[in-house]
Structure 1
Amino acid sequence: MRTYHLFQKITFIVSLLVSLSLLASAQKSLVTGKVITAKDGQPLPGVTIIIKNTSIGTVSNVSGEFSIQAQIGDTLVFSFIGLQTRLVKVEKTKLLVKLHGDQNQLEEVVVSGYHTVKKEAFVGSCVTVKGNSLQRRADYYSNTEEYNSFSQNQFRKALDAPLSTFSIDVDVASYSNMRRFINNGQIPPADAIRTEELLNYFTYDYPAPRGNDPVSITTEVSAAPWNPQHRLVHIGIKAKEIAMENLPASNLVFLIDVSGSMSDPNKLPLLKSSLKMLVQKLRPQDRVAIVTYANHTKELLPSTSCENKQKIISVIESLYASGGTAGGDGIQRAYRIAEASFIKNGNNRIILATDGDFNIGLSSPQELEKLIETKRSSGIYLTVLGFGMGNYKDNRVQTLAEKGNGNHAYIDNLTEAKKVLVSEFGGTLFTVAKDVKIQVEFNPAKVQAYRLIGYESRLLEDKDFNDDTKDAGEMGAGHSVTALYEVIPVGVKSNLLGDIDPLKYQKTEKKEKKSLTDSPELLTLKLRYKQPDSDKSSKMEVAVIDKNTSLNNVSENFRFSAAVAGFGMLLQDSKYKNDLTYDDIIHLAREATQYDPEGYRKEFIRLVESAALLK
């Protein structure tokens, strides 16, 4: 009998130990690691990592690093365009994963957001393999994405049009959207490439402002890499940094699209994770209200102090997608709430998170533009966060950001959300200079013709520069803006200028000889800005002389920005690209990676390499 009871006790203890062991193994752990290429050991950013047979996933950051909550025994699926998909069983909480090149895999699947889809269901073009290169297949399905069409800026003769005027642009949405296309095995549409947004995605080593002006100006001139006979003028604008503790209190309204089109994993689920990261960054003096819109608009959370972050996060976690998209009504409601909670001398801002697919009430870009313009003088800024693919309406969200005294970012993964809402928190959400515009006067004695690279949607009339009622772009704390002009020097023959018959009623030759000066200056750069609480602008002015600096002796800022601009020209199939190749861009960018605090320049090089395979 004693033996039987002893056996029962031993059996119970063994069962208990087995149960505890199984319970421990079922608990989720934070699994961290790094993804590298098997070929050269380089880190791989943008790798999709999901737990097999689930929709739980993440994306590796610019250093190839990742973290994910998983159980011991789970299988992680690592996917990246052009490389072999790898399955790794979780047996420890720190992993080093090497991905190998694979051609056959690309025939069957492409990576989309956090999940892998068969190519029959993929929105857009697919990828096939020939020899050692990749080719796009022109198989298009139900792609309803929308982009504003535009023509690239043309060369203008300095004698006829010596002034070039434009609003600065700190938006970066085009870059992360372009990255999404390439990581999914597609070359993006030409109209999706706004070169200024590619340029301004990156951090440049510009000097901080000094004195009372909130911005500094840096200029540099050298040869254009795609046409050595031409000169490239680099303009860098840097806004002052403000320490987090010195930023004014924020009155934020999260305006969230919860319509049915937001149900995909790379839409509302990613949106919720992004906003939760932002809430964790906020301080007790900051306030958040939450408005949602689908068939109807709802105020889910009145303006609430961030002392109660858990309450705010709980509302975000409760969101789900269904119904239509009454975006116009949602915008009006958000402005009313922001105005009711307005903080004088504070940061009053609406953060609109959407795929831009408005289909109820006010919905056209023209209607939305009129609505936003009426709110511009309210002192409330607008940040637009774009999400998703397949039905993404870039044209609508771009219009909202441009007309609403705000900025526009496209969130393609959690790493990008962290960049926009955490790492660049001040630049995204706190304006230090508003209505910033630039006017360049070219010296026709030195400049035969010029063209502004990018900023097509930001061009202003020359008379707008001194008109303080004309809207222009905003710069946030720590933001930088980069602009490039390609210049054809006097005496250089070019077939890019066209041929115009001599004027009948003007003596052009005499006019030219009389008007030219002997100034050594290539151009004069003027910049206007307003303090955030002022309606009167201040002006800065800098003269630029071409010192004939060779491309080998320019700064990394110049070299890298030229590489990014060249990449934009190739993606647009620009007639100005001359004989520029992807290899030229890669070589130029590799010579400019010493200043790369977040690793984004290295990620850019890998994107160029991927794009070269897709051509």
Structure 2
Amino acid sequence: MKRLTLLLLVLISLSSFASGTHAITGAVYDAKDKLPIAGATVKVAGTTIGMATDAKGEFKLDVPETGILQVSFIGYVSQNIQLSSRSKYRVYLQADTKSLSEVVVVGYGVSRKRDVTYAAASVTSAPQALSGKVAGVQTLSATSRIQVRGVSSANGYMAPIPQADVNDESYKGVTENGFKNPTEEPLSTFSIDVDGASYTNIRRFINNGQLPPTDAVRVEEMINYFSYNLPAPKDNSPIAIHTELSSAPWNPQHRLLRIGLKAKQVNTDKLPASNLVFLIDVSGSMWSPNKLPLVQSSLKMLVDQLRPQDHVAMVVYAGAAGLVLPSTPGDQKTTIKEAIDKLVAGGSTAGGAGIKLAYQVAQQNFIKNGNNRVILATDGDFNVGASSDEDMEHLIERERKSGVFLSVLGYGMGNYKDSKMETLADKGNGNYAYIDNLTEARKTLVSEFGGTLFTVAKDVKLQIEFNPAKVQAYRLIGYENRLLNKEDFNNDLKDAGDMGVGHTVTAFYEIIPAGVEDSFSPTVDPLKYQKPDKNKNTYTGNEMMTIKFRYKEPSSDRSQLKQTTVADAPVALANTSDDFRFAAAVAEFGMLLRESDYRQQASYDQAIELARKAKGEDREGYRAEMVKLAETAKLMAKSGLASTNK
């Protein structure tokens, strides 16, 4: 009997061992050029175990000892790999344009069920009531929990992202900048933009097998998603300005001017103390694994960056708004993370009430000369209370005068409200980022921690005066929703964009030199009652333009002015910096996605080749990822998989 019992125990042990799991790592590459493929789906067949590769094409999974590892990506032949005791895998996918025909675009949606899966964060047992009171505020406790609809994540359950055939995403309409005549409009004035949300959102569309709607493409945000190697200020100024002038890749007869701004670097230990309020949307629309669970993982990354002098409070909103964590020192990371882990989603969306409460909490814990900021994490689906963009805009404009800034982190798809979140961040003197995976969360909240949270210059504006003796016409590429009236440049009451620690900003002007024949230069019939003064332009130097920029110190209401000039001395495109050529390639890619009226001789092949040769060091692999996105978009465009929403 003892021998039989012992034999049964051995069999049970062997059975348990056979059904065990082990960790594997690997990377997915293009078989032709050996570049990593970001966003490829890696999953175990017949299970919910899987993930999408990161910007370096890498993945990490806990898998069974036996089974089939399926690796796929739009435009490539899928591979099935037999799992074994191996711990490392390198997968090379072959391009296959036929696979694109499997995807059918319906509005913003994709009819085929997605294979990509994401790990949902664990939900712990019911929380104890958290202490802390705010006057006139509902403080949520264990009895206030709202259950997640349709998803159980108690044991780290892997759930596929739901896909709907009908989508309710919203984007602001964009009227593309055209060419201006410097004789009639010598000044071009705009606010800087450091956001990169549009690029991340475009990446999400392309990786899901669809070209983005044209209004989702903001070319300046695509360009400024990437960091550039610009020299920091040498004087006490928070910003340095740099320029490069060459030919436009899509029309060599035209010039392309790059204006680059670089904010000063500040060591983390010398940054001011932070008073942060996490404002987290826990409404029913946030239940998906790529929303609230991803929010939780993202914010815990940010918590790991905090210092003892920093403080964090947490406000949530669904049917009502409430305080779930009073202001807590940054070295109490376990307490903060536990509060984050206990969040669940459900109910309607009282966004306006949540924002008001978050500002109230921030004011009560205000740090003089510190970094006081509300960080909103949401899909932007405000449908209860102050819901219109105009209402929210007025609310944020009033609150920002208190010295509390607002940053917005966008999540999810299907009901994503890009237009609303961009408005909130613009008016709240903060940044706007779209986070679609943990790699992007790390980039925004870890790698770019200082720039995301700590402002070194606010209300940064540029005004360029063009010399009509050198410039026949000019066009600002992108920044359509950042244009200012010429009078706004000297008006210190006019809000503009902000720059954080180490931030870079790039803006491009396409210039038609004087005397070049073209079809873009605006013309009108000669005036009947007035005659142009032929001697009006008396300047005879070699300057093509003068660039002025204004900024304010974070604690000041008075701007400072700096300026520089650009001579009519272009260099050959091949002799420009890697940054110039790569950013120009991104601009060309953006114009193609926008189906720009000014794309001229632009092509995917040209943008891809230019970007590939200008990747530079590319430590994080973001530039290589852009090349892969452009290659995929090229295949989609050839197959007619364009969005039906313009």
Q: 1:357 aligned to 2:376?
A: no
Q: Compared with structure 1, are the counterparts of its residues 110 and 15 closer, same or farther at alpha carbon in structure 2 (3 Å cutoff)? A: farther
Q: Compared with structure 1, are the counterparts of its residues 120 and 170 closer, same or farther at alpha carbon in structure 2 (3 Å cutoff)? A: same
Contact kept? 1:215, 1:239, Cα under 8 Å: yes
- 1:347 is matched with 371
Q: Compared with structure 1, are the counterparts of its residues 73 and 301 closer, same or farther at alpha carbon in structure 2 (3 Å cutoff)? A: farther
- 1:91 is matched with 85
Q: Distance in 2 between matches of 1:30 and 1:244?
A: 34
Where do 1:421-432 residues align within 5 Å? 421-432=445-456
1:396 CA drift (Å):
0.2
- 1:329 is matched with 353
Q: Distance in 1 between matches of 2:415 and 2:588?
A: 28
Percentage of pairs with the same residue? 54
Match of 1:603 among 619, 625, 630: 625
1:21 CA drift (Å):
5.1
Q: Compared with structure 1, are the counterparts of its residues 90 and 339 closer, same or farther at alpha carbon in structure 2 (3 Å cutoff)? A: farther
Amino acid aligned to 1:271: V
Q: Distance in 1 between matches of 2:101 and 2:236?
A: 58
Which digits, 9 at most, give the CA deviation of each residue in 1:559-602, with x for residues without a partner? 11111111111111111111211111111112211232322111
1:221 CA drift (Å):
0.6
Which digits, 9 at most, give the CA deviation of each residue in 1:62-94, with x for residues without a partner? 221222344544654433211234444363332
Amino acid aligned to 1:583: D
Match of 1:241 among 257, 260, 265: 265
Moved more, 492-501 or 18-27: 18-27
Q: Distance in 2 between matches of 1:420 and 1:280?
A: 13
**1:156 match: secondary structure:** coil
1:469 CA drift (Å):
1.1
Moved more, 102-111 or 238-247: 102-111
Determine which structure has the larger helix proportion and give its number: 1
Amino acid aligned to 1:579: Q
Q: Compared with structure 1, are the counterparts of its residues 58 and 221 closer, same or farther at alpha carbon in structure 2 (3 Å cutoff)? A: same
Which digits, 9 at most, give the CA deviation of each residue in 1:396-421, with x for residues without a partner? 00000111101101111111111111
Q: 1:184 aligned to 2:214?
A: no
Q: Distance in 2 between matches of 1:332 and 1:590?
A: 47
Amino acid aligned to 1:63: K
Q: Distance in 2 between matches of 1:426 and 1:191?
A: 30
Contact kept? 2:463, 2:547, Cα under 8 Å: yes
Where do 1:310-325 residues align within 5 Å? 310-325=334-349
- 2:24 is matched with 31
Q: Distance in 2 between matches of 1:104 and 1:576?
A: 31
**1:232 match: secondary structure:** strand
Q: Distance in 2 between matches of 1:291 and 1:599?
A: 35
**1:44 match: secondary structure:** coil
Contact kept? 1:234, 1:482, Cα under 8 Å: yes
- 1:114 is matched with none
- 1:135 is matched with none
Contact kept? 2:110, 2:210, Cα under 8 Å: no
Match of 2:190 among 144, 166, 170: 166
Which digits, 9 at most, give the CA deviation of each residue in 1:266-302, with x for residues without a partner? 2112221111211122222221111111111121111
Amino acid aligned to 1:37: D
Q: Compared with structure 1, are the counterparts of its residues 437 and 295 closer, same or farther at alpha carbon in structure 2 (3 Å cutoff)? A: same
**Which consecutive residues of structure 2, in runs of 5 or more, have no partner in the other structure?**
115-162, 638-646
Q: Distance in 1 between matches of 2:548 and 2:14?
A: 70
1:486 CA drift (Å):
0.7
Match of 1:100 among 72, 94, 103: 94
Match of 1:79 among 69, 72, 95: 72
Contact kept? 1:433, 1:530, Cα under 8 Å: yes
**2:423 match: secondary structure:** helix
Q: Distance in 2 between matches of 1:555 and 1:368?
A: 42
Q: 1:526 aligned to 2:548?
A: yes
Match of 1:541 among 557, 563, 581: 563
Where do 1:78-157 residues align within 5 Å? 78-88=71-81, 89=83, 91-102=85-96, 105-108=99-102, 119=111, 141-157=165-181
Amino acid aligned to 1:613: L
Contact kept? 2:36, 2:624, Cα under 8 Å: no
- 1:60 is matched with 53
- 2:579 is matched with 557
**2:340 match: secondary structure:** helix
Q: Distance in 2 between matches of 1:27 and 1:399?
A: 49
1:193 CA drift (Å):
0.6
- 2:134 is matched with none
1:523 CA drift (Å):
0.6
Moved more, 264-273 or 388-397: 264-273
**Which consecutive residues of structure 1, in runs of 5 or more, have no partner in the other structure?**
112-116, 123-138
TM-score by length of 1: 0.91
Amino acid aligned to 2:199: Y
Where do 1:292-303 residues align within 5 Å? 292-303=316-327
Size of the aligned set, in residue pairs, is: 585
Q: Distance in 2 between matches of 1:436 and 1:118?
A: 40
Where do 1:437-452 residues align within 5 Å? 437-452=461-476
RMSD over equivalenced CA pairs, Å = 2.2
**2:178 match: secondary structure:** coil
Q: Distance in 2 between matches of 1:378 and 1:223?
A: 46
- 2:498 is matched with 474
**1:368 match: secondary structure:** helix
- 1:259 is matched with 283
**2:433 match: secondary structure:** strand
Which digits, 9 at most, give the CA deviation of each residue in 1:235-257, with x for residues without a partner? 11011112222222211111111
Which digits, 9 at most, give the CA deviation of each residue in 1:294-334, with x for residues without a partner? 11112111111122211211221122221111111111111
Where do 1:193-208 residues align within 5 Å? 193-208=217-232
TM-score by length of 2: 0.86
1:472 CA drift (Å):
0.6
**1:528 match: secondary structure:** strand
1:346 CA drift (Å):
1.4
Amino acid aligned to 1:533: S
Moved more, 560-569 or 74-83: 74-83
1:528 CA drift (Å):
0.8
Q: Distance in 1 between matches of 2:208 and 2:615?
A: 25
Q: Compared with structure 1, are the counterparts of its residues 330 and 16 closer, same or farther at alpha carbon in structure 2 (3 Å cutoff)? A: same
Q: Distance in 1 between matches of 2:307 and 2:66?
A: 39
Contact kept? 1:76, 1:90, Cα under 8 Å: no
1:27 CA drift (Å):
5.8
Q: Distance in 1 between matches of 2:17 and 2:406?
A: 47
Contact kept? 1:250, 1:287, Cα under 8 Å: yes
**1:371 match: secondary structure:** helix
- 2:139 is matched with none
Q: Distance in 2 between matches of 1:52 and 1:288?
A: 42
Contact kept? 1:75, 1:90, Cα under 8 Å: no
Amino acid aligned to 2:587: A
Which digits, 9 at most, give the CA deviation of each residue in 1:25-81, with x for residues without a partner? 666544322112234432212223345555554332222122234454465443321
